Amino acid sequence: MVTLNGRDIYLGRYGTKQSKAEYQRVVGEWLAAGGSLPSGGDLTIAEVCLAYWRWAKGYYRVKPGGSRGSVERVQLALRVLRQGYGHTLAKDFGPLALQSLQRQLAESGKSRSYVNDLIQVIKQSFKWAVAREMLPVAVYQALTTVPGLKKGRSPAREPQPVRPVPDDVVDATLPHLPAVVADMVRFQRMTGCRPAEVCLVRPCDVDTSGDVWVYRPESHKTEHHGRERIICIGPKGQDVLRPYLLRPEGAYCFSPIDSERKRLAERHARRRTPLSYGNRPGTNRKRKPKRKAGDRYDTNSYRRAIHRAVDLANRKRKAEGDHDALHRWSPNRLRHSAATEIRKHFGLEAAQVTLGHATADVSQIYAERDLTLAVEVMRKIG
pLDDT tens, 255-273? 888 777 777 777 777 778 7
329 or 365: which leads in pLDDT: 329
Which sign, positive or negative, has the C-alpha torsion 231, 235, 240, 241? positive
Confidence of residue 359 (pLDDT cuts 50, 70, 90): very low
Average pLDDT of 135-143?
A: 93
Q: How far is CA 131 from CA 24, 29, 75, 85, 281, in A?
A: 19, 11, 20, 21, 60
Q: What confidence score (pLDDT) does residue 64 get?
A: 62
Query: Which letter does DSSP use for residue 278 in this model?
Result: S
> pLDDT tens for residues 306-330?
999 999 999 998 888 887 888 999 9
Q: What is the pLDDT of residue 182?
A: 93
Q: How far apart are CA 382 and CA 378, in angstroms?
A: 4
On whether the CB atoms of residues 296 and 255 are closer than 8 A, the answer is yes
pLDDT given at position 271: 78
DSSP code for 295: S
Distance, C-alpha 342 to centroid of its chain: 25
Distance CA 277, CA 254 (A): 35
What kind and span of H or E run contains 3? Answer: strand 2-4
* Whole-number Å distance between alpha carbons of 204 and 329: 31
The answer to whether the beta carbons of residues 210 and 372 sit under 8 Å apart is: no
Residue 140 has pLDDT above 90, yes or no: yes
Give the amino acid at 289: P
Write out pLDDT tens, residues 88-101.
Answer: 889 989 999 999 99
Range with the largest mean pLDDT of 142-146, 149-153, 189-193, 349-353: 142-146
| Domains of the chain with bracketed CATH | 1-32 (no CATH), 37-160 (1.10.150.130), 167-271+292-381 (1.10.443.10)
Looking at residues 49-65, what average pLDDT do you find?
A: 80
**According to the model, what pLDDT value does residue 185 have?**
94
- What does pTM read for this prediction? 0.68
Nearest to 300 by CA among 336, 254, 331: 331
| Contact between residue 43 and residue 135 where contact means Cβ atoms under 8 Å apart | yes
- Judge whether residue 340 has pLDDT over 70: yes
Mean pLDDT of 297-311: 92
